[in-house]
Amino acid sequence: MKNLLLQFVVLLCTTALCVANYEHEHTATYWNDQAQARLQKQLLRRTNTGVAKNVILFLGDGMSIPTLTAARTHLGQRNGNAGEETELSFEKFPYVGLSKTYCVDKQVADSACSATAYLGGVKANKDTVGVTAAVKRGDCDAMNDVSNHVQSVAHYSQLKNKRTGIVTTTRVTHASPAGVYAHTAERDWESDTDVTLAGKNPKTCLDSTVQLVHGETGKKLNVIFGGGRRKFLPMFETDEDGKMGNRLDNRNLINEWKQLKANTTHAYVSDRNSLLNIADGTEYSLGLFDNGHMSYNLERDSNKQPSLEEMTIKAIELLSNGKEGFFLFVEGGLIDKAHHDNKARLALDETIEFHKAIEAAVKMTNETDTLILVTADHAHTMTLNGNENRGHDVLGLGGLAVDLLQYTTLSYGTGPGYKPNKDGRRHDVSKDDLTSNDYGYPTIAPLLSATHGGDDVGIFASGPWSHLITSVVEQNLIAHVINFASCTGERTTACEN
């Protein structure tokens, strides 16, 4: 019923009913006044050179610039407006830059090498996490050489007695969150089974889950919220949903985490209600809400799985109890997953959920002492095509091509959305159900999973030293800005400056 209502609202915006919403834009006065108001706001802006007691890094996985444009438009249309004029919460931040996301060895980044860059300050090879480019993919010996390890901003925050945490809608051992705590030559080594299948020894090539529970940085994380229970549990042992574990070593790493925290106030939770009821004074919290990745918001059982916004709110509440401040990493990971399947409707909704989490964080913190950064690890190949009128459903048809067949406003460069026709003509998308959450938007080249995009991604910043985020920069600068602003790390900081 909720989806039908949203579709009805968007349908209204494709008619003349939405025109009335921007008739006031027909005058020069409107645009001049709007620009002058923004100019005055810019003139009143003062740089904040205080110390960032708290830092929150929001990562929209695969959140390209076109994704932002389409998501803000879709959000506005959900609310009965034309949509194009809408702003996402973080688009109101005072400082914006662009991040160059390539890996050391690849033109287009993955979530592993990019996590090492924005969390560790060092660019790396594709598919490696928390190590320098001296480590090639799958090289266990090089990965175990500590001289090749790249420490994250969370690690340096812990050295300053700050509380630290990760929140994600993917598995907590997936590539992006692993950048907080892991050092591995292969992003897919999330359990000992994964290492064994790669022909390596899991006793020497430690998987990411073991590093999360027992590693130098992982074991000190105060908050861990996301999915991925199977990477913690033995094969043939079932989780709370009756699904099997993935480990061959017969270790239950959830129980090991509990044992390590036995002398502290701690909580392990596996559903939404338990998350919301974690006591405020709890020092360590582990929340695993799915056997694998968490469900898309539009498919989520809200009685079992919390939203990204709810996990973020709880994490900030728990981390704020630390006297020295905190560092929190929050990933909207399913934006990327939906894009890989060319499921644009799901990708845009996940971006809107990401926007809600950031909006909540802004309300809970103070920009005088909290640095909030919002960025993406890499882009995707989704694009917006013309030439429909203002207010036209961004998830709908885009117009008629010279072959007299319709095209969609959104389409992809690669992926499973490719639909061949036996007669050699282009597929007729007007016959498709574009209102389905599972609809795969058209692509140029057929692939089982869409590739990432190589275009630059945005960085949005608010709080102490946020003015350092300007122009086009290498992605690894982000970690250096965080360390500088929060007086952590091994290089020059705001405190020394």
Does the annotation place 378 within a ligand binding site?
Answer: yes
Q: Find where tokens 């920009």 sit.
A: 367
Does the annotation place 176 within a ligand binding site?
Answer: yes
Alpha-carbon distance of 2 to 334, in angstroms, equals 21
Q: Encoding tokens for residue 63?
A: 């959140």
Edge-to-edge strand list for the sheet holding 471-474: 266-269, 284-288, 223-227, 163-171, 326-332, 54-60, 370-375, 457-462, 95-100, 471-474
Does the annotation place 174 within a ligand binding site?
Answer: yes
Q: Find where tokens 């090639």 sit.
A: 136
64, 89, 99, 111: the active-site residue: 111
* Residue 136 amino acid letter: K
Does the annotation place 110 within a ligand binding site?
Answer: no
Does the annotation place 331 within a ligand binding site?
Answer: yes
Does the annotation place 336 within a ligand binding site?
Answer: yes
Give the chain as a 3 state SS string: CHHHHHHHHHHHCCCHHHHHHHHHHHCHHHHHHHHHHHHHHHHCCCCCCCCCCEEEEEEECCCCHHHHHHHHHHHHHHCCCCCCCCCCHHHHCCEEEEEECCCCCCCCCCHHHHHHHHHHCCCCCCCCECECCCCCCCCHHHHHCHHHECCCHHHHHHHCCCEEEEEEEEECCCHHHHHHHCCECCCCCCCHHHHHHCCCCCCCCCCHHHHHHHCCCHHHCCEEEEECHHHCCECCCECCCCCECCECCCCCHHHHHHHHCCCCCEEEECCHHHHHCCCCCCCEEEEECCCCCCCCHHHCCCCCCCCHHHHHHHHHHHHCCCCCCEEEEEEECHHHHHHHCCCHHHHHHHHHHHHHHHHHHHHHCCCCCEEEEEECCCEECCEECCCCCCCCCCCCEEEECCCCCEEECEEEEEECCCCCCCCCCCCCHHHCCCCCCCCCCCEEEECCCCCEECCCEEEEEECCCHHHCCEEEECCHHHHHHHHHHCCCCCCCCCCC
**Any bridge partners for residue 260, and if so which?**
none
How far CA 313 is from CA of 211, 270, 308, 310, 460, in Å, comes to: 26, 17, 9, 5, 20
φ/ψ (deg, to 5) at 287: -120, 115
**Any bridge partners for residue 41, and if so which?**
none
Does the annotation place 207 within a ligand binding site?
Answer: no
Note if 111 is an active site residue: yes
Q: Residue 438, Cβ neighbours under 10 Å: how many?
A: 13
Q: Which residues are catalytic?
A: 111
Q: Which residues are annotated as a binding site?
A: 61, 174, 176, 331, 336, 340, 377-378, 452
Q: Which residues are annotated as a binding site for Mg(2+)?
A: 61, 174, 176, 331
Q: Which residues are annotated as a binding site for Zn(2+)?
A: 61, 336, 340, 377-378, 452
